[in-house]
Amino acid sequence: MLVNPMYNPRMSAERFPTAPELFTVPTGEGGIIEDTIESFFDEILDYLGWGQEARTHFANRYSMELHSSSPTEAKSIPSNDRVTLLVLRDFTVASVLERRDDRNEIQVVSACYLNPGMVEELTKDEILLTKRR
C-alpha cells in the first residue's frame, strides 16, 4: 500500500505530484531503488517549479540507516531499514522508507508531505523557480 498523506483533504489531488507505487526490489539491485527515489523527488521539485540552480543550492537529500534500541544492550542495533528525506529550505517535504521483508527483498514506501502552506512558502521566491517562457 502506498503511503502518500496529503494533510489538507480540501486540496485537489491533481495539484500534487504523484508518488510511485509501492514496489519490491530484489536485494542487490540498489540502483533501481536510487533511481526511483530520485525520480520521486524530481517530480516534487518539478511540481514546485524549482530551477536547476535552486535544486543545487536549496534542495538537500539526506539518507540514513535506522537503528533500534535494545533493552539488553547499551547501544542501538542496525534495523536493516533506511530512510531518505528531501529537505527544501527548512521543510521536510518528502521521505522514502526502504524496509527488508521476510524474503530479504527491499520494500520501498514513499510519502509526500506537501501542504498548501509549504507550497506557498516554497514558490513565492521567483529566483528559485524555473524561468517560464
pLDDT digits (tens, 9 = 90+) for 109-125: 778 888 888 888 888 88
pLDDT of residue 5: 40
Please state the domain count of the chain. 1
Q: Is residue 56 part of a domain?
A: yes
Q: Is residue 90 part of a domain?
A: yes
Q: Is residue 116 part of a domain?
A: yes
The parent domain of residue 111 ranges over 18-68+76-123
Give Rg (Cα) of the chain: 17
Helix pair 30-48, 116-123: axis angle to 10 deg: 80
Q: Is residue 2 part of a domain?
A: no
Q: Is residue 89 part of a domain?
A: yes
pLDDT of residue 127: 74
Q: Is residue 108 part of a domain?
A: yes
Residue 123 host element (H or E): helix 116-123
List of residues 6+ apart from 63 with CB closer than 8 A: 82, 83, 84, 85
pLDDT of residue 62: 94
pLDDT of residue 20: 44
By the 8 A CB rule, do 55 and 26 touch?
no
C-alpha grid cell, residue 119: 507550497
Residues of the chain with pLDDT under 50: 1-22, 133
Q: Is residue 10 part of a domain?
A: no
